[in-house]
Chains A and B, each alone.
Chain A
Amino acid sequence: MFSSATKIWTTAWKQYLYKLKAFSFVSLIVMQIIILLLSTSGIGMYGTSNDNLHVNIKMYASDVVIIGTFVWIFVIAFSLTKKESKQRDFTLVSTRFSSCLSDLGLLVTLSLIAGVTASLSGYLLRIFRYLVSGSGLINFNAFKLSPAVFLQGMAAAVLYLLLISAMAYLFGMLAEFHRIFAVLVPALLLGLFRVQSQAVVKVIEFFVAETNLALFAGKVIGVSLLLFAVSSLIFNRMEVRK
């Protein structure tokens, strides 16, 4: 029993290293750079006037880069559940469980890398705007974030990416389990938005309204592990079915 468990972990670790080695980060880098370039024109604008004075404030932040990275991890996690991707796993010595474990390891690593780069991209934007605008009319209030605020934001970005990847992985597994889920899940979510919008808002607020980072991390890690466990069970059921 002990030997078997050790073997699964060793196999999962080897698979994880193999997948990480083969993974290309080009899509992440290209996507982040493209969105950064688009963000150089600002993500929001505020304007006010009083008699003869007009004030226009252009806001800059890496919000759009982070949202783009959410989409990226969703697509990557979804694609990991595809039949072709899973078949590649079985060219190596592996089990269904070790395959899921290695996917989980890969998605955690990708969330970490993508979250860190997405959060740091805001500083590249700041340097760019500083060089373009000179030191003229720049509001320096949030130019330098306190290390605590920056680190909290970066940790939250990584955690959100982990949560989204877990959701996408489960959705992908369901879609692979039966094609009908590929249509049923989005339809169900859209229906819920229309019929039970308050309930959906409550679910979203469960994460976004949490102002304590430790509690937020607990919620995200707990829910993500649950989603990955359900995905793994579905994957095992697929084996029985086939």
Chain B
Amino acid sequence: MNITVFLLLPLILFFWLIGKKTRFSFSGRQSKNLLLLYSAVLTLSFITVYALPLPGYGNADEPNQAIIQAEETLYKLPQIAKEGKLDSTPGVYKLSSMDFNLQGNELTLSPDPYGSYHEVFLEKKEAADGLITVSSYTTTTIIQGIDITPQIRPPIIRLSGNRLELSSPENYTLAYTSFKPDFTAEQFSGPIPENWHITDPKTTLGREIIYLQIPSNMTVVPNQTTIFQLEDSQIIN
């Protein structure tokens, strides 16, 4: 329980004493009218919340179901990539896609200047058209039951000469407002586990990958980057 609760207790007593004093200035009838007005405002806010065109109330187990699905997709991601179904699999999201024309037949990857790890999946195209396509994908990220995937920023991808630079986006913060049922309602939402004071984290982090499509005549120099070759399921680094 939040420390605020304990800080509030003396305050509540203080205001109760004020309330006790105001009894003399408010007649019983006036206080009833005030209560009616207060109740009307509360009821109106209750009605307004349900009238708002927002997603309806969901099942309490929904975030957990979504986490199970997200983690299944996360583990199957190499297989999904190998089957070429990244764009058609639910739970896999394309963050960005860029095409580059490259002179020569060697592409060197640059390590991330911030030290972040990028998982690169490599597909050799049938054509030798000098065109490389770099796409980034992610699986679902759920933090405390909130699906933050639409807010995930793609990695920064640049081609400089024959060097492909992959770097993470600059530090960014997502600030969410979240609501929870009152503790009196949560008590009846299911059996309380042994460690009832520890809340269920309801969190899964998505898996981000770079999907690199290169011409058939091109070779890639990993340069400290781990590359997963889809055609023969080999890892090169």
- Residue numbers of A with Cβ under 8 A of B are 21-32, 34-35, 38, 43-44, 46, 48, 50-64, 66-68, 71-72, 75, 113, 116-117, 119-124, 126-127, 129-130, 133, 135, 137-146, 149-150, 152-154, 156-157, 160, 208-213, 216
Q: From the candidates B4, B12, B63, B175, name the one contacting A58 in the complex (CB within 8 A).
A: B175
A114 to chain B, nearest CB (A): 10
Q: A30 and B18: CB pair below 8 A?
A: yes
Can you identify 16 A-B contacts, CB atoms within 8 angstroms?
Answer: A25-B31, A27-B20, A28-B19, A30-B15, A48-B203, A53-B152, A60-B178, A71-B12, A123-B49, A138-B176, A140-B54, A156-B184, A156-B187, A157-B182, A211-B192, A216-B188
Q: A137 and B12: CB pair below 8 A?
A: no
Which chain B residues numbered 149 to 196 have a C-beta less than 8 Å away from chain A?
Answer: 151-153, 168-192, 196
Point out the residues of chain B lying under 8 angstroms from A22, CB to CB.
28
Point out the residues of chain A lying under 8 angstroms from B153, CB to CB.
53
- Residue numbers of B with Cβ under 8 A of A are 1-2, 4-5, 8-9, 11-13, 15-16, 18-20, 22-23, 26, 28, 31-32, 34-35, 38-39, 41-43, 45-46, 48-50, 52, 54-58, 60, 62-63, 114, 116, 143-146, 148, 151-153, 168-192, 196, 203, 205
B95 to chain A, nearest CB (A): 13
Point out the residues of chain A lying under 8 angstroms from B4, CB to CB.
38, 43, 64
What does DSSP make chain A's interface, helix, strand, loop or mixed? Answer: helix
Q: A139 and B178: CB pair below 8 A?
A: yes
A139 to chain B, nearest CB (A): 4
Q: B57 and A56: CB pair below 8 A?
A: no
Q: How far is the CA of A155 from the CA of B22 in the complex (A)?
A: 30
Q: How far is the CA of A48 from the CA of B38 in the complex (A)?
A: 38
Q: B179 and A143: CB pair below 8 A?
A: yes
A212 (CB) vs chain B CBs: closest residue: B188
A33 (CB) vs chain B CBs: closest residue: B38
Q: B182 and A153: CB pair below 8 A?
A: yes
Q: A139 and B182: CB pair below 8 A?
A: no
Q: A29 and B46: CB pair below 8 A?
A: no
Contact A138/B177 with A66-B182, A71-B9, A213-B188 known, Cβ cut-off 8 Å:
yes
B46 (CB) vs chain A CBs: closest residue: A123
Point out the residues of chain A lying under 8 angstroms from B60, CB to CB.
149
Point out the residues of chain A lying under 8 angstroms from B28, CB to CB.
21-24
Point out the residues of chain B lying under 8 angstroms from A38, CB to CB.
4, 8
Contact A46/B144 with A130-B52, A152-B188, A212-B188 known, Cβ cut-off 8 Å:
yes
A173 to chain B, nearest CB (A): 20
Q: A52 and B172: CB pair below 8 A?
A: yes
Q: B173 and A160: CB pair below 8 A?
A: no
Point out the residues of chain A lying under 8 angstroms from B2, CB to CB.
43-44, 63-64
Q: A26 and B176: CB pair below 8 A?
A: no
Q: From the candidates B22, B57, B177, name the one contacting A26 in the complex (CB within 8 A).
A: B22
Q: What 10 A-B pairs come out closest when comparing CB atoms?
A: A27-B19, A153-B185, A120-B42, A156-B184, A139-B178, A24-B31, A24-B23, A25-B35, A124-B45, A139-B146
Q: How far is the CA of A117 from the CA of B37 in the complex (A)?
A: 12
B151 (CB) vs chain A CBs: closest residue: A137
Contact A139/B184 with A57-B143, A145-B57 known, Cβ cut-off 8 Å:
no
Q: How far is the CA of A25 from the CA of B30 in the complex (A)?
A: 9
Q: How far is the CA of A180 from the CA of B201 in the complex (A)?
A: 47
Q: From the candidates A26, A66, A116, name the one contacting B23 in the complex (CB within 8 A).
A: A26
Q: B19 and A150: CB pair below 8 A?
A: no
Q: B180 and A66: CB pair below 8 A?
A: no
Q: From the candidates B35, B49, B181, B187, name the one contacting A127 in the complex (CB within 8 A).
A: B49
Q: B181 and A149: CB pair below 8 A?
A: yes
Q: B57 and A29: CB pair below 8 A?
A: no
Q: A120 and B43: CB pair below 8 A?
A: yes
Q: B173 and A56: CB pair below 8 A?
A: yes
Q: A26 and B180: CB pair below 8 A?
A: no
Q: From the candidates A116, A127, A141, name the one contacting B178 in the complex (CB within 8 A).
A: A141
A162 to chain B, nearest CB (A): 13
A119 to chain B, nearest CB (A): 6
Q: A43-B4, A141-B63 are in contact. List 7 more A-B contacts (CB 8 A).
A: A27-B15, A64-B4, A71-B12, A123-B48, A137-B175, A145-B185, A150-B181
Q: B146 and A141: CB pair below 8 A?
A: yes
